[in-house]
């Protein structure tokens, strides 16, 4: 049987061409003082982004507690604990984030990120993580102390016992690097939408 010269030619997909460019997974870093709701926002944001949730206290907490018991401290912000564990704790957090990003999984990191909020610290983050976004949560001082009292965690006992000393010791200034500042007194759903909108537009 002769071929029909009027038949449409077969459609051949071009070799090596994708219909859509691959999406590069991103890292969102949620920072802020104790009690600003970093963990709460992270837990709500991660599933919205299809991201792995990496909370510094969860990832490194058990080992930090061991160190704390050895030095006789209960507050994770105790200088004795910070001096011994700060660098390895954050290295662990960033190493796990890098592994997820290499696997194509976006990440939401939750930690104070005090050093990473400086210019030098942020440059180091940018070198390790793809397209990072720093989110900074802030609340009025009175709300901050009240939140810690309602949380009633052992690690906050020293902070709530002397609120003035606690507030004087923390850095309440905005990060010195590009960031998304959010008023943490707003509902969590609004904060999630603000982060998603920022990621979509950038």
- Residues 55-113 have pLDDT tens digits of 999 999 888 888 888 888 777 667 788 788 889 999 999 999 999 999 999 999 999 99
Q: Please indicate, yes or no, if residue 193 is contained in any of the structural domains.
A: yes
Strand order in the sheet with 180-183: 52-55, 107-110, 27-32, 133-138, 180-183
Q: Please indicate, yes or no, if residue 133 is contained in any of the structural domains.
A: yes
Q: Please indicate, yes or no, if residue 17 is contained in any of the structural domains.
A: no
Q: Is the distance from CB of 56 to CB of 76 less than 8 angstroms?
A: no
Q: Please indicate, yes or no, if residue 14 is contained in any of the structural domains.
A: no
d(CA 25, CA 17): 20
Q: Count up the domains in the chain and report the number.
A: 1
Q: Please indicate, yes or no, if residue 107 is contained in any of the structural domains.
A: yes
Q: Please indicate, yes or no, if residue 16 is contained in any of the structural domains.
A: no
Higher-confidence residue: 116 or 62? 116
Q: Please indicate, yes or no, if residue 19 is contained in any of the structural domains.
A: no
Per-residue pLDDT at 114 exceeds 60: yes
- Check which CATH number belongs to the domain holding 194 and give it: 3.40.50.300
In terms of residues, how long is the chain? 202
Per-residue pLDDT at 9 exceeds 80: no
Q: Please indicate, yes or no, if residue 81 is contained in any of the structural domains.
A: yes
What's the angle, vertex CA 164, arms to CA 160 and CA 167, rounded to 5? 85
Domain that holds residue 121: 27-201
């Amino acid at each position: 049987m002769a071929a029909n010269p009027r038949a449409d030619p077969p459609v051949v997909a071009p070799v090596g061409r994708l219909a859509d460019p691959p999406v590069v997974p991103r890292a969102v870093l949620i920072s802020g003082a104790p009690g600003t709701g970093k963990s709460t926002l992270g837990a709500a944001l991660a599933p919205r982004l299809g991201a792995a949730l990496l909370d510094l206290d969860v990832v490194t907490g058990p080992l930090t507690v061991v160190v704390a018991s050895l030095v006789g401290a209960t507050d994770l912000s105790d200088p004795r604990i910070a001096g011994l564990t700060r660098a390895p704790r954050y290295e662990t957090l960033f190493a796990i984030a890098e592994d997820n990003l290499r696997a194509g999984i976006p990440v939401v990191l939750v930690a104070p990120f005090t050093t990473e909020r400086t210019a030098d610290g942020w440059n180091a983050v940018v070198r390790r993580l793809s397209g990072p976004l720093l989110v900074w949560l802030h609340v009025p001082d009175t709300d901050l102390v009240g939140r810690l009292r309602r949380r009633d965690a052992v690690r906050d006992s020293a902070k709530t016992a002397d609120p003035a000393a606690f507030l004087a010791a923390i850095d309440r200034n905005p990060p010195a690097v590009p960031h998304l500042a959010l008023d943490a007194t707003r509902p969590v759903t609004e904060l999630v939408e603000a982060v998603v909108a920022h990621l979509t537009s950038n």
